[in-house]
Amino acid sequence: MNCKVCNTQIRKGARTCPNCGGEAPAGAAFERSDAPGRLPAADLSTARDEVGELDGLEDLPAVSPRTKKKKAKRTRKVAPAKASSQASLFAPDAASLRTLLSEQPEALEPGLCVLRDDTGTAIGAGYASGVGEIDLLAQDARGELVVVMISERDEGEELIAEVLQRIGWVRKHVGDDERRVRGIVLCEGVPENLGYAASAVADTIRFKTYRVALTFEDLTL
């Protein structure tokens, strides 16, 4: 740009003419290499129009730099229990079995009932004989006396001897010549040395085993 007084070329950024000292034209001081350039009027108008077209856009939600991603909770997968069509069988203890037989003797044999005295009182559960206790002294549908014993022994020969003693005692002290007395022995398993001895008394003593199964039913609430 030249000075308007002496037409001397003025260096960019200078405020006065180096020849005559006149002031540089307005705006010359801003024409420096590091000063931001101005947009032409036409370009500025176009830019304003473009900005105006963006006024209808929705603002995006601000994301805070401190926001941390939440870790997904790990859910432990539990394998569903396999449904069993039949519950496992188990054997009750001797005391529970004695209680069951005294309350429901017909579960052992249809028509079986606990022995009663002349007054109608049940006296057969845990009957005390002269040769040892009888777990259940019962009477069947034919009127025969039945000595029921729950085996807790492993030796078959000793078991049979005990049952025969109780049968003989009941025949002599409780029954009469016309009433037959027989025995039923409940065994959880097969005692040792039982085979031949059991076959010898098969007409008098019967051997049975037992299992109790659980049954589940839905409740109506």
pLDDT digits (tens, 9 = 90+) for 113-162: 999 999 999 999 999 999 999 999 999 999 999 999 998 766 677 889 99
Domain contains 107: yes
| Residue 185 lies in domain | 94-208
Domain count, the chain: 2
Q: Residue 70: pLDDT above 60?
A: no
Domain contains 149: yes
Does 189 lie in the same domain as 129?
yes
Yes or no: say if 113 and 138 are a contact pair by the CB < 8 Å rule: yes
With bands split at pLDDT 50, 70 and 90, how would you rate the model's confidence at 25? low
Q: Residue 179: pLDDT above 80?
A: yes
Domain contains 152: yes
Domain contains 182: yes
Buried b / exposed e over 88-108, threshold 16 CB at 10 Å, is: eeeeeeeeebbeebbeebeeb
What is the model's pTM? 0.55
Domain contains 59: no
Q: Which residues pair with 207 in a beta bridge?
A: 185
Q: Which is higher by pLDDT, 75 or 111?
A: 111
Does 108 lie in the same domain as 4?
no
Over range 192-216, report the average pLDDT: 85
